Amino acid sequence: MESVAKLYIRAKPFLAVTLLQSIYAGMEIIFKFALNQGMSQHVVIVYRYAVATVVTAPFAIVLDRKVRPKLTFSLFAKIFFLGLLEPVIDQNLYYTGVKYTTATFGSAMCNVLPAFAFLMAWICGLEKVSIRRLHSQAKILGTIVTVGGAMLMTLFSGPMLKLPWTNRNTHQKFTNAANEQDHIKGGLMVIAGSVCWSGFIILQAITLRSYPAELSLTVLICLMGTLENIIVAVVIERGNPTAWSIHLDTKLLAALYGGIVASGIAYCLQGAIIKERGPIFVTAFGPLTMVLVAIMGSFILSEMISLGRVIGAVVIVVGLYLVVWGKSKDGHEHLITSTSDSPNVAEVLVVPTKAQHMATTNHAITLTSTTSSNQDQIVAIDHPSQNSSL
């Protein structure tokens, strides 16, 4: 029995991260199914963020009551732009892109997020790169490979792979054929959304320096995103009041699943995994969502998979793991140098997790600052901890 217990303890993080990726995959399938049924992605995003706000607010009120700083005008401006970048621009672009393509395509493209975040952090001066170091070369090469894979998926389709079970259901073949005509537009929308999400990650890292109450920040961003998305949805869906109607249908399921399961439950689960094994562990399992979506999409949505998309997805995954490997070496170096005598440490290490397009600000950020006594201090947010358990 003792050996079984030890085996369970070792396997628990892997079971948890598999469950997490399954939750994300379920979200992709439910949203795509609802989109195929004519659901307005702009309206359901409003409902989803409203649900996420209501679900997470009580936890933020209780858990962050001792660490929540005052909300200044500067912080409010940052939260405004955070809500604009991810909940509004990214979400609307992403799900519109998925509407034009497939759930598998959107899920595969999400794996470019770490590369885009690294590139944007480098441009903003938050990421130091030394060309002579192997891990820096891996991050640069991984970014190039990832972007190349994304362009390959967008511009090249190739022959369709014939799966026996997809031939039995012709319900969505016409939908897929129509979507295929817009796969370039959809791909560009997903990529543009990923760029906005990367900007969100960078701004979030900066905001958490002065507002370390992460759960409260999540609620404020969700609330701001809800209000901003209402304006967007009202403008886009003007003259179409039926788009706002709620029934016992896929729209309600998408809103509740996205707000409660993919935001509330997944947020807590991901936080526990990150504390136990670190952000790199979660990011490394990101491609599992793509595989699960491809399998479920072919069964449930009868989505056709093309050879070009498969090759592009493989290229993206290779680039992703190059970036992840480089980031893991960065984290090791930061931990080693954090106890040095240098008085001018001010690094921001950004390691995006599979927070892709969730209605929460899941993150894994390590801020390294300098105290007044010139001793380096590491402030870890969702960082591995030996005292925490999953």
Residue 89 has pLDDT above 90, yes or no: yes
pLDDT tier at 2, thresholds 50, 70, 90: low
Report the C-alpha gap between 301 and 287 in whole angstroms: 20
Q: Which helix (H) or strand (E) holds 370?
A: strand 365-370
Buried b (16+ CB within 10 A) or exposed e, 338-352: beeeeeebebbbbbb
Report the C-alpha gap between 208 and 382 in whole angstroms: 12
Q: Which of 108-117, 130-139, 298-307, 347-356 has the lowest mean pLDDT?
A: 347-356
Residues 45/95, Cβ–Cβ less than 8 Å? yes
pLDDT in tens, 177-233: 444 457 788 888 998 998 898 888 888 888 988 898 888 998 999 999 999 999 999
Distance of CA 288 to the CA centre of its chain: 13
Which range of 218-222, 366-370, 385-389 scores highest in mean pLDDT? It is: 218-222
Bigger pLDDT: 320 or 332?
A: 320
CA angle (68, 229, 270) in 5-degree steps = 50
Report the C-alpha gap between 143 and 274 in whole angstroms: 23
Report the C-alpha gap between 298 and 66 in whole angstroms: 48
Bigger pLDDT: 386 or 228?
A: 228
Identify which of 349, 352, 389 has the alpha carbon closest to the alpha carbon of residue 126: 349
Identify residue 239 by its one-letter amino acid code.
Answer: G
Q: Dihedrals φ, ψ of 246, to 5°?
A: -120, 125
The two most distant CA atoms of the chain are separated, in Å, by 70
Q: Which of 133-137, 240-244, 272-276 has the lowest mean pLDDT?
A: 272-276
pTM above 0.95, yes or no: no
Structure tokens at 77: 């401006």
State the residue for tokens 């992460």. 214
Sequence-distant (6+) residues with CB within 8 A of 121 are 127, 201, 202, 205, 348, 350
Bigger pLDDT: 366 or 31?
A: 31
pLDDT in tens, 47-77: 999 999 999 899 889 988 888 998 899 999 9
Determine how β-strand 365-370 pairs with β-strand 347-350. antiparallel
pLDDT in tens, 118-158: 888 888 777 778 888 888 888 889 888 988 888 888 777 77
The β-bridge partners of 339 are none
pLDDT-above-70 percentage for the chain: 79
